[in-house]
Amino acid sequence: MPASRARELNLLLIQPPLPINERHKRIIPLSLTYIASYAREQLPNVNVEILDAQAENLDYDQVCRRVWQTKRDVIGITFWTPQATFAYTLASAIRKLCPNAKTVLGGVHTTIFPEEAAKHADYIIVREGERPFCELLRRLGTGESPDGIPGLGYWSTEEDELKFWPESEFIEDLDELPFPAWDLLKMRYYTTNMHVTGGRRMPVVGSRGCPYNCVYCTSPFLWKRKVRYRDPVKVVDEIEEIGKRFKVNQIHFWDDNLLMVREYIKGLCEEIIRRKLSINWVGLTRASHMVKNQDLMQLMKDSGCIGIEIGIESANPETFDKIDKQESLEDIVTCAKVQSAVGMYPMFTYMAFNPGETLAGYYLQAEFIDKILDGLPWAEHFHPLPYLVYVGQFCTAHPGTNLYSLASSLGIVLCRDWSDYYHHKINFVPDSLLDDVPIRNIKKLRLVDNWICLNAMAGTVYEFYNDHQSDMEHKIRHFRYLKFVRAFFDQCNGKLTIRQIWRELTVYLKMNSDEALRQTAFTSLILGQLGLIRSAIFQKDLDIRPKTINIPIGAAGLIKFEVFRRIGALYDLFGN
């Protein structure tokens, strides 16, 4: 049917908030901006709006109100697993709020669980959404049946099953996609600091996919381990456009593996230099690719690269093998050296509670990271904690990963709802840690040791400290955790496993079992890294000595310490 006969469609695209949303950095929803720009280019009869509830920090009622106030013919929602519960509830509400609107679900979780998602909406779209979504919009505008669109599905109530048409090949030439529809976003909300330097940054994606198969990553499932690249010239065109529109000269490349293809990164850097663009940029890659392309470090530095992120995940060789990283710790050391040599800042990401981790491994990891950061200035806008304790993300058995099917045989999974699957909540504790036996390496915890445990917990476990609680609720929670730390340390006698200590403290402190396990695991991590406890069974000959951590200098650190001192005084009065 000719496009001229298509009726006008009003499209609303939604990104839901994340759990404990106020603590998450604001992330531009590139998937929605690409779908929006592609739809506007292909379908002149479609009017598009984006509602980013994550960036605006909207709750459920506020999102429903915004949807109800806006007349829409089609409403699309994209979401990750931790957003699934919100997305499903919202999609069901939309059917009542906007009975004439068609709802479409997409994104990672929809791709992994298409049957589940289809029961909550009119249509689902899996994997790469630009082409199938636009074809659906075209047919809705002309009144044609959507049957047969590759990558689209819907729940057939008559047959009580999912009707689905397998997706076709991915978009081979990514350059056919227009620049993201930035104009549909309220850009004032995206203020997450640039790595190392601070200040505003913008995301750019030059490729899609990764050929590797790390056990904790959904990319192999989503992109089928196939990689496609944009023309470096077009990528730099986008960077230049960002500078003109937003006066932003700091770029964060969101590619899964930026240095995998030598010709691509070389062409990108040379094009930036040729145009004499004054920018700072960072990206993510594997250690082995940086080692292979270390002769390009000066070129990258000259083009504005201030550092490259490398995923350490763990410094325990046994854990490194279990997560199928297919790299060596020696490669990571080399990465730090080659970046530092040209004046770049080596950045490393890491995870806690990977399969195979032990108390000795935590101490080794801290020592390893200390070593590779030795002599470098402290990167305030990269490290989440203002001292040498490394928590990072929490290992999460995300659906769609190999770890998801293995997790229950490797440890205890603490996810009770889809909203639990996010990496700022402890949702998996490995048996290797639970079966370790801690022994004290110091007679009594120092005041600063207690403070570090509390500050690390409040700084990295998002639900521990959030805006929905009053100051009194925060103080009570702090007080109870300090009591837990002291009780845990007292139980580290070299006779009980961490699993046994968890069970003992659950009863003794009258705690919820899951919460007691989370606090047991976290306290083990921090005290283990500080060398305040050590393993009585693993690597007993390791020379572990209690570390001295300096309290952060500055008003914020001193205020936090004073608050802790007062809470500690309350404990001394009433803790027994």
Q: Assign residue 52 the CATH number of its domain.
A: 3.40.50.280
Please give the average per-residue pLDDT across 173-202, as a whole number. Answer: 94
Amino acid 324: pLDDT:
60
The candidate with the shortest Cα–Cα distance to 47, out of 36, 58, 63, is 36
136 and 35, same domain (yes or no): yes
Number of domain units in the chain: 3
Amino acid 1: pLDDT:
38
Token pair of 189 as six digits: 């909300």
Q: How many residues does the chain have?
A: 576
* Range of the structural domain that residue 362 is part of: 193-433
Domain boundary among 176, 209, 234: 176
Instruction: Give the orientation angle of helix 359-373 with respect to helix 513-529, to 10 degrees.
Output: 50
Q: Is residue 485 part of a domain?
A: yes
Q: Is residue 187 part of a domain?
A: no
Say yes or no to pLDDT of 557 above 60: no
Please give the average per-residue pLDDT across 43-63, as a whole number. Answer: 95
Amino acid 376: pLDDT:
84
Q: Is residue 182 part of a domain?
A: no
168 and 227, same domain (yes or no): no
Tens of pLDDT along 63-104? 999 998 887 899 999 999 999 999 999 999 998 889 999 999
218 and 347, same domain (yes or no): yes
Looking at the chain, the whole-number percentage of residues with pLDDT higher than 70 is: 92
End-to-end CA distance of the chain: 78
25 and 73, same domain (yes or no): yes
555 and 532, same domain (yes or no): yes
Using 50, 70 and 90 to split pLDDT, how confident is the model at 213? confident
Q: What are the contacts of 515-521 at 24+ separation with CB within 8 A?
A: 516/484, 517/412, 517/414, 517/426, 517/429, 518/414, 518/426, 518/429, 518/461, 519/457, 519/481, 519/484, 519/488, 520/429, 520/488, 521/352, 521/353, 521/426, 521/429, 521/433
Contact residues for 354 (Cβ-Cβ < 8 A; gap 6+): 216, 313, 314, 319, 322, 323, 395, 430
Using 50, 70 and 90 to split pLDDT, how confident is the model at 181? very high
The candidate with the shortest Cα–Cα distance to 368, out of 326, 319, 410, 324, is 319
Q: Is residue 383 part of a domain?
A: yes
Q: Is residue 183 part of a domain?
A: no
Q: Is residue 475 part of a domain?
A: yes
CATH code (residue 393): 3.20.20.70
524 and 541, same domain (yes or no): yes
223 and 111, same domain (yes or no): no
444 and 421, same domain (yes or no): no
Q: Is residue 83 part of a domain?
A: yes
**3-state class of 101 per DSSP?**
coil
267 and 393, same domain (yes or no): yes
Using 50, 70 and 90 to split pLDDT, how confident is the model at 325? low
Amino acid 250: pLDDT:
97
202 and 343, same domain (yes or no): yes
Say yes or no to pLDDT of 131 above 70: yes
Question: For 417, which DSSP code?
Answer: S
Amino acid 379: pLDDT:
78
- CA-derived radius of gyration, the chain: 25
Instruction: Compare 386 and 332 and report the one with higher pLDDT.
Output: 332
Amino acid 365: pLDDT:
85
Amino acid 369: pLDDT:
86
Task: Specify the pairing of strand 347-352 against strand 305-313.
Answer: parallel
Say yes or no to pLDDT of 552 above 60: no
Q: Is residue 391 part of a domain?
A: yes
Cα 547 to Cα 551: distance, rounded to the nearest angstrom: 13
Say yes or no to pLDDT of 491 above 80: yes
The candidate with the shortest Cα–Cα distance to 484, out of 389, 393, 571, 385, is 571
Domain boundary among 399, 433, 467: 433
Domain boundary among 402, 433, 464: 433
Amino acid 558: pLDDT:
43
Please give the mean pLDDT across all residues of the chain: 90
Cα 356 to Cα 123: distance, rounded to the nearest angstrom: 41
Least confident of 287-301, 337-351, 373-387, 454-468: 373-387
35 and 170, same domain (yes or no): yes
Unique residue bearing structure tokens 């009119």 = 122
The candidate with the shortest Cα–Cα distance to 95, out of 71, 116, 120, is 120
39 and 109, same domain (yes or no): yes
Cα 528 to Cα 492: distance, rounded to the nearest angstrom: 11
Amino acid 321: pLDDT:
62
Amino acid 345: pLDDT:
93
Q: What are the contacts of 553-561 at 24+ separation with CB within 8 A?
A: 557/386, 560/451, 560/455, 561/451
